Amino acid sequence: MAYRLKEVARKPERFSSGHRMCAGCGAPIVVRQVLRALKPEDHAVIGCATGCLEVSSFLYPYTSWRDSFIHNAFENSAATISGAEAAYNALKKKGKITGETKFIAFGGDGGTYDIGLQSLSGAMERGHDMVYVCYDNGAYMNTGIQRSSATPLYADTTTSPAGSKIPGKMQWRKDLTEIMVKHHLPYVAQTAPLGNMKDLYEKAEKAIYTKGPCFLNVLAPCPRGWRYDAENLMEISKLAVETCFWPLYEVIDGKYVINYKPKNKLPVKEFLKTQGRFRHLFRAGNEYMIEQIQAEVDRRWEELLRLAGEA
């Protein structure tokens, strides 16, 4: 269906206000738009790994979730939702359940790239009809801003501090979107909260209503871990896309589609300089760090163009 902002905005909220997420956090924006893609008549079962989103949105007896919600352990959001989906199918075959129920798991990068990768891979390989949404904020933010495998090279975190001995995290970030593509899923997409949310909404809708296991990797900036002022959230998301640090693309039954190609691709330093976690990169003598990051961003972008047949 065509994206009509006014119609989408009138759809009922399924993730309510009053949660305790930080001002300027990308995660609740991501959740609201993903759930808004559900048809109003459809029920959803939501699983959420331990993390910022869970502890801030569900504090018994209060909840921001208006669909069925399961808080599970840090490492098993995908396993929990795949089990719920299997139980639903069994009950539906017996005629004990009617109506449509959709199954969606949320996890941060710590609970997805790292500690939850095993259960995610298993659920995707088994072919459950579910969507896994990673809100990628690039570190273990809930427990103190420790580095994860989603943390970019040279980012300053509490376990990869930038100082005289090391210049921040010493490894490249893992490309989880491509790992999911290699599971041969019917739908995989990478997106971010931008402007009128068209890209995020349309990809969420495709994922939810595509039969089988689907995966969304969504950039979710964190004001505390990335160190930016709350009002700069959307600008930072935009710069991540305009510099090709975070390309917008989808893979439909193995076919790559790039959803946005910047007319004037910005240098990655425009994205990096907006965040305190990269402040040390702009000190005299550290120019080589920005050059290395730029070279890797360019390499990954060219590889994506090649995969999409646009090189």
Of residues 177, 170, 96, 91, the one with CA closest to residue 136: 177
pLDDT at position 1, please?
59
Stretch 175-192: mean pLDDT, rounded?
Answer: 98
3-state secondary structure of 62: strand
Classify strands 249-252 and 255-258 as parallel, antiparallel or unpaired: antiparallel
CB of 45 closer than 8 Å to CB of 102: yes
Q: Is 70 exceeded by the pLDDT of residue 295?
A: yes
CATH superfamily of this structure's domain 5-307: Thiamin diphosphate (ThDP)-binding fold, Pyr/PP domains (3.40.50.970)
* Pairwise CA distance, residues 256 & 259, whole Å: 10
Give the per-residue pLDDT at 237.
Answer: 98
Contacts 24+ apart (CB under 8 A), 60-69: 62/18, 64/15, 64/16, 64/17, 64/18, 64/19, 65/14, 65/15, 65/16, 66/12, 66/13, 66/14, 66/15, 66/16, 67/14, 67/35, 67/43, 68/43, 68/44
Q: In 3D, which of 272, 221, 216 has the Cα closest to residue 244?
A: 272
Average predicted confidence (pLDDT) for the chain: 96
Q: Determine the straight-line distance between the first and last CA of the chain, rounded to whole angstroms.
A: 30
Helix/strand/coil (H/E/C) assignment for every residue in 255-285: EEEECCCCCCCCCCHHHHCCCHHHHHHHCCC
Closest CA to 277 of 142, 141, 174: 141
| DSSP-derived 3-state class of residue 59 | strand
Which residues contact residue 20 at a Cβ distance below 8 angstroms, ignoring those fewer than 6 apart? 55, 56, 57, 59
The full set of domain ranges for the chain reads 5-307
CA atoms of 44 and 34, how far apart (whole Å): 12
**What pLDDT score was predicted for residue 131?**
98
For residues 10 and 120, what is the distance between their CA atoms, to the nearest angstrom? 33
Query: Distance of alpha carbon 149 from its chain centroid, rounded?
Result: 14
Structure tokens at 297: 């961003």
For residues 166-186, give the mean pLDDT.
Answer: 98
CA separation (Å) from 126 to 40, 83, 117, 123, 157?
Answer: 28, 11, 14, 5, 35
pLDDT tens-digit series, residues 92-126: 999 999 889 999 999 999 999 999 999 999 999 99
Q: Give the tens place of pLDDT for each residue, 219-262.
A: 999 999 999 999 999 999 999 999 999 999 999 999 999 999 99
Phi then psi for residue 211, to 5 deg, are -70, 130
Q: Which residue has the tokens 């921040």?
A: 168
